[in-house]
Structure 1
Amino acid sequence: MKTVVAAMLFAVAAPAAALAAPGQSAPAAAKFNIDTPVEVLAADPAAKAVLDADMPGMLTHPSYEMFKAMSLRQLQPFSEGKITDEILAKIDADLAAIK
């Protein structure tokens, strides 16, 4: 049983270790992405600037209070086609560039 558990732990840890060169840590995950709730993005000045640039008027939309806890990915199906895959990709890239 201990051998099985050890093998399972190794199987989970091995891919993460393979990403980093010896002596280096794994790359840090992006601070924000399209799965981050809109209200969290709006609370950060740099992320808010991305939303204002890529989706003008979103943060002042009359329904903001209703969707602010949702992520952009969750909001997409309710956007009547206004949040396209291309827009999500641009926003995701712009958010990932935030340091």
Structure 2
Amino acid sequence: MASAQTAPAQTAPTAAQPAAAAKFSLDTAIQDLYADKDAKAVMDKHLPGLTALPQYEMIKAISLRQLQPYSDGKLTDAMLAGVDADLAKIK
């Protein structure tokens, strides 16, 4: 006689499970970074004056990762790594 098998019960996340993804990343729209006080501080630390650029209105809806190829080398991998590391600390 075959017995019915049931699927394992779904459990809620616990503290032992990995933490959620970072709140912000290099893929977050620039305007969203400036809208958060902690992310804005990171941007001001690593990329001071970005909002003062005449092109800001054109670039604010894209991410830093998307902007990098158009930055004529001004957004270096090292700069973005610093931004990314600091953004990852924001909870």
The TM-score by the shorter chain falls in which range?
0.7 to 0.9
Structure label with greater radius of gyration: 2
State the Cα distance separating 1:61 from its structure 2 match: 1.1
Residue number in structure 2 paired with 1:35? 27
- Which residue among 72, 79, 82 is the counterpart of 1:80? 72
- Which residue among 36, 40, 51 is the counterpart of 1:48? 40
Q: In the alignment, is the contact (CA less than 8 A) between 1:35 and 1:71 conserved in 2?
A: yes
Identity %: 56
Unaligned ranges ≥5, structure 1: 1-19
Which whole-Å CA distance do the structure 1 matches of 2:56 and 2:64 have between them?
12
Which whole-Å CA distance do the structure 1 matches of 2:51 and 2:89 have between them?
21
Tell me the TM-score normalized by structure 2.
0.80
User: Which amino acid letter does the alignment assign opposite residue 27 of structure 1?
Assistant: A
Q: Secondary structure at the match of 2:16?
A: coil
Superposed, 1:1-99 pairs within 5 Å as 24-99=16-91
Which whole-Å CA distance do the structure 1 matches of 2:45 and 2:62 have between them?
19
Q: For this pair of structures, how many residues does the alignment match?
A: 79
User: Which amino acid letter does the alignment assign opposite residue 79 of structure 1?
Assistant: S
Tell me the TM-score normalized by structure 1.
0.74
Q: In the alignment, is the contact (CA less than 8 A) between 1:52 and 1:59 conserved in 2?
A: no
Unaligned ranges ≥5, structure 2: 1-12
State the Cα distance separating 1:23 from its structure 2 match: 6.6
Bigger RCO of structures 1 and 2 (CA < 8 A, at least 6 apart):
2
